[in-house]
Structure formats: structure tokens, C-alpha cells
Amino acid sequence: MPNKQIKEENNYFPESVRTRNVFRNLILHLHPVKVRRASLKFTHTFGLGGMVALLFVLQVFTGLILRFVYLPVVDHAYESILQINQSVFFGQFIRNIHHWSGMLMVILTFLHLLRVFYTEAFHSPRRSNWVIGVVLFILVIFSNFSGYLLPWDQLSFWAVTVMTSMLEYIPWAGGWLAQLIRGGSDVGPVTLLNFFTFHTALLPMSVVILMAFHFWKVRKAGGVVIPGGKANPDKEYINTVPHLVLKELVVALVLVGTILLMSVFFNAPLLEKANPALSPNPAKAPWYFLGIQELLMHFHPFFAAILIPLLFVGMLFWLPYSRFDKMSLGIWFVSEKGRKLCLRVLLFTIVVVPILVLSNEFIPDMIGSASGWKAMVLEGLVPFLIILVVLWVWVIILYKKKKYSKNEIVQAVFTFLVISYLTLMIIGIWFRGEGMALMWPWKV
Amino acid sequence: MTRRGFFYRIWKWLAVIAGLEIAGISIAFIFTGKRKEQKSDQLKVLARIEDIPPGTVFPYRIGQLYLVRLKNGGFMALSLKCTHLGCSIRWYDDSQKFICPCHASEFDMRGNVNKPPAPRALDIYKVVVEDGLIKVDLGKRIKRTKFEKSQVTFA
Ligand code: HEM
Ligand code: FES
């Protein structure tokens, strides 16, 4: 079989035998020789995982180039970015590519996670790979966040000040952890060096190792999920080269083209040099953390910045190991009923969350200057428990009265949480202006 | 237990111990190598008493603090850093309060929280008044939950 296989493939590479072999070798390190035809449908995966992998390669290349000029020292960091922008050949362009593909990487990794979730691809035999994926998602976010500090402008300095202060609200270990990451009690020279090391060594290295693991597990599970899993009627296998590889090339070209165009027309932001004595007004975290920053306006910091995010991540890890009624592998939204429920939850959430945010403006803060435990209970525990109870009652009704399956209910709750976060994030990005007051986007 | 099982177990535990040692050494390295916080008792002269009339708030941004003279004539040095998440607060003379630009916490002249989310009063520095000069110990930021009379220094 292999001989015939190779012959067939060779026709697609008109170069010399040598190049052909090298190229095929590379591909076949990542892909099996044959894949199931049913797995190639674009709308099963949208090619999202592959796009993220490509973006990572792009980040490593552009990051490496930036490192030749960038200086991770407080007195020179900002100036070296200015130099990249102004006097290095293609400096601004390379920096733009790094910036925009860093941003796209966060978005696409998140979409990839959603795709895997809604096609129920986290069941056995892909359980451990889902866990690896969640870790990768966290690493990508922190890769972006650690890069955020490096330009050392007002944007990056204050975003990191706010984010690292959140750690201090972790009971017992928080102060210590914040000190360790910052290398002191304020963001300063040591923080910059720490973040540079995270950003250009520790995190990319971890990502590479986990990515290798991730791909290997995909192969071990017999490729990506397909509707019905093994029971899918289309049993045919087709050659990876050219069928899969051509599709990948098209996706890659479109993605790279998009990034190049963005980088030609839009410059990565750079404000004035960081000034520790003067917070810009408003001072915002990076956009992907603005949902948390918005939560901070309504909840005690321990709940907003620590407990709620940790619970959510914990749920993601535990998800594949909980018991489900059925394994609806590879079917978007489990069923037609599940899809409709998700749609209703979506509409409900994008209406209710802004109403809650608005109503909190008009209910004066209950506690005045209550401090310590009292604030934690009134501004944290009480609203948190109220939301939990409402969610719980809703789940019971869905299960007992409306006879939804567990798969559909888990999906609905997940949708509610994710859309809540995205709504809060959008409010944080576009509807919060000076003094963090609510206002219309064109006034921000 | 077989002999092989026994040795296997020993090797396993040795590996665990070695791993912990490496982690411990790395953390100790990072922690002690980086910590260079000044704990000095150096007093810095900020102003003369007569420069600061009662009821005024005076920014000293290099030291990241506000020098405050309360209406009763007492002095306080308040840290600029909001106790919520560390942004720099700003004094607004017309409304007589500090407002944080990040999540809109408000503090009064003594550093007490007027409006959350800030969980506790602004940190302070020790103020000493000698020979008509106001001196502040910039080396040590003191945490507190709320204002107390003992935090005020009188001339
Ligand atoms: C895991 C993937 C990566 C992501 C998501 C990422 C993201 C980012 C982001 C968001 C910035 C801030 C840039 C800006 O605001 O303009 C940045 C800066 C930077 N990154 Fe990365 N990066 C990644 C990988 C790397 C790698 C592998 C290196 C080097 C080996 C690197 C080197 C740098 C340097 C030197 C800067 C500072 C230059 C600048 O601010 O434009 N990055 N990165
Ligand atoms: S940092 Fe001051 S209110 Fe949040």
C-alpha cells in the first residue's frame, strides 16, 4: 500500500525528488497518510486550530526579529519601540504583524475552544486533549498579556499594574504571588525583566511542548471528531496530500493575507512613556480582561478577579470527566433542540446583562465604606449566591420540566457564562469612558 | 514487595525529591535575586510648615504621595496608590476628594474610603515635623484599614 500511496502523491510535487521528500516528510510528521473523508468538511472545524498553529509560527518569527532591537530595561524599552517604529526598516510593519497576529491568536484560540465545545469533541477519547487545550488557551492569553507590558507605555504599565494587583486578593498566597511575579511591591524594572522572560522564553517553550502533545493526541484519537464518530456512514479514507493539505494552504493564505493587510493599514498602538505617578483616565486592562474589569465594578475583587474566573476554568477542566447522558459526538449544538435553546440563551443574556449593569448604577452601593469581611459578604458572597441560586433553579426547570438532556443543559449554562463574559467585555471596551462612567461608544 | 519493585519505588521518590529541590532552588533564586526594596529610615524634607496652610492637599508625585494638611493643622502623607488595584488617585479641589480613574473609588482628605470598590483607606507614610520642616519617611509604606487619630502628626 505505501508504495502506491507515495507514487500517487508524488504527482503533486513537480520539484526534484529530494524537495518532494522533504516536504512530504514535514507534512506526514503532522498528518497521517490518509484521513477520513467525512472529517474534511470545513464547517466541522473551520480550520481554527490550524490557524492558531500558523499564527504561533508567525509570532515566533516576528518576535525573534523584534528581539534584535528591543531592550527589556525600563530606561530603554520605550525608546527601543520608538526606534522600531521610526527608524528600523520595516520595523513598524514587523511590530504590527506581531501585534495583530497576537490579537488574532487570542480570538481564534477562543473560537477554537468554542468549536470543540459545541461539537462535543471533548468526550472520550479526547478528554485529556481537551484539558491540554484549556491549558494552551490560558498560556496564549498570558503570552499576549506578558507581551503587553514590553512597550512600557501608559497603556501597558497601567494594565499590568491593575492585573497584578488582582492577585493580591487571593487569600494567604496572593501577596506572595504578586510579589514573585512583579519582583517587588510595584510594577518596575524587575517586572519588565520577568515579563520579558515569560514572554520570550518560558511561555513560548511551554506552548511548543504542549502543542506537540496536542497534535499527537488528535492523531491518536483518529483525527478530528466527525458526526456520529465511528458510526458515521461515510467510511472512506482519502489521501492527506493533496486533499487536506490543499485546504490548509488556502486557509493559511487567507489568514496571512488578512494579517499583512491589517499590518499595512493599522499601526499597533503606542501611547506616551509609562508614568507611574499618573494613571490615564480611564485606565483599562487589555481588552480580553475587560470582562473581569467590568465585573470588578460590581463585585468584591476576590469574587470578580479570583473566584469566578477560577471556578469557570475549573469547570472547563472538569467538563470531560463528568457523566453525560449521551455522547453526541461531532454534532453542532447536540441537537436541533439544543441549538434553539442556545439561541434563546444568547438573546436572553445580551439583554439581561446590560440591564443588570445599568441597574447597578442606580442602586447606590449598599456598604458605604464597609471594609474587610463585611465588604466581602455584602459585595461578594450575597450577589454571587443570588446568581447561583437563580442558575440552579433554571437548570432544575430545564431538566425536570422541559426534559432537556444533560448535554443540552451543560451547553446552555456554558453559553450563558460565555455570552455574559463577552457582553461585559464589550461594555468594558466600548461603553466605559472617563472615570469608568457608562457612556455611548462615540463619547468614550 | 519484589526487589525490583522496591528499587523502582526508591528511584521514583528520589526523582520527586530532586524535582522539588530544583523548583525550590529556582524560586529562591528568583525571589532573593530580585528583592531590592529599600527599607531605609531616610527622612525626606518635603516642605516648610508655613508653605502648607491647613486644609490643603499637595501632590509630591516623585515620591508618589500626597502631602495633606488637615483642617485642624495636622499633617499626613498619603500614598498615591488606590487600595483597590493600584492606580494613581487624583485630588479634586472643588469636590474635596480623591478620585481613582480606574474604577471610580473615592477617598476623603484623610484617605478614608468614601465610595468603594476600594476596600480600605489609602496607605500612609510616616511624617515627622522638625525645625519647622515637614519630613516624610519614603522608605516604608504603611498599610491601614481606616483613619485613626494616631496617624496624624502635629507641628
Ligand atoms: C505565544 C505567542 C505570542 C503572542 C500571543 C505574543 C503577543 C505579543 C503582544 C500582544 C505584544 C505587545 C506588542 C504590541 O502591543 O505592539 C508582544 C510584544 C513582543 N513580543 Fe510577543 N507574542 C508571542 C510570541 C513571542 C515570541 C516567541 C517572541 C520572541 C522570541 C516574542 C517577542 C516579543 C517582543 C520582543 C515584543 C516587544 C515588541 C513590541 O511591543 O512590539 N513574542 N507580543
Ligand atoms: S484601582 Fe482605584 S478604583 Fe480600582
Question: Which ipTM value was assigned to this complex?
Answer: 0.78
**Which pLDDT does position A142 carry in this prediction?**
95
CA distance A177 to chain B (A): 11
Query: pLDDT grade, residue A14 (50/70/90)?
Result: low
B102 lines ligand 2 (CB under 6 A): yes
**Which pLDDT does position A367 carry in this prediction?**
47
User: What percent of chain B clears pLDDT 90, i.e. is strictly above it?
Assistant: 23
Nearest CA in chain B to A185: B37
- The answer to which of A57-66, A73-82, A237-246, A411-420 has the lowest mean pLDDT is A237-246
Candidate ranges A1-5, A70-74, A359-363; pick with highest mean pLDDT: A70-74
More confidently predicted of A271 and A233: A271
Q: What's the CA gap between A337 and A332, in Å, rounded?
A: 11
Average pLDDT over residues B52-67: 84
**Which pLDDT does position B43 carry in this prediction?**
78
Ligand 2 atom nearest the C-alpha of B86 is: 1
State the pTM of this model: 0.86
Is the bond preceding B116 in cis, omega lying within 30 degrees of 0? no
What residues contact A338, with CB distance under 8 A and at least 6 apart?
A404, A405, A407, A408, A411, A412
Q: Residue A282: helix, strand or coil by DSSP?
A: coil
Q: What structural domains and CATH numbers belong to chain A?
A: 31-280 (1.20.810.10), 290-444 (no CATH)
- To test the pocket of ligand 2, the residue of B103, B107, B113, B122 to mutate (highest count of ligand atoms within 8 Å of its CB) is B103
Q: What is the 3-state secondary structure of chain B? A: CCHHHHHHHHHHHHHHHHHHHHHHHHHHHHHHHHCCCCCCCCEEEEEEHHHCCCCEEEEEHHHCEEEEECCCCCEEEEECECCCCCCECEEECCCCEEECCCCCCEECCCCCEEECCCCCCCCEECEEEECCEEEEECCCCECCCCCCHHHCECC
**Which pLDDT does position B155 carry in this prediction?**
74
**Which pLDDT does position A1 carry in this prediction?**
42
Contact A240, A162 (CB under 8 A): no
Candidate ranges A273-287, B5-19, B43-57; pick with highest mean pLDDT: B5-19
- Cell 497576537 locates to A102
CA distance A267 to chain B (A): 26
Please report which ligand is nearest the Cα atom of A267: 1
As a whole number, the mean pLDDT across chain B is 85
Is the bond preceding A364 in cis, omega lying within 30 degrees of 0? no
Q: What's the CA gap between A365 and A388, in Å, rounded?
A: 21
Contact A369 B104 (CB under 8 A): no
pLDDT tens-place string over residues A189-210: 999 999 999 999 999 999 999 9
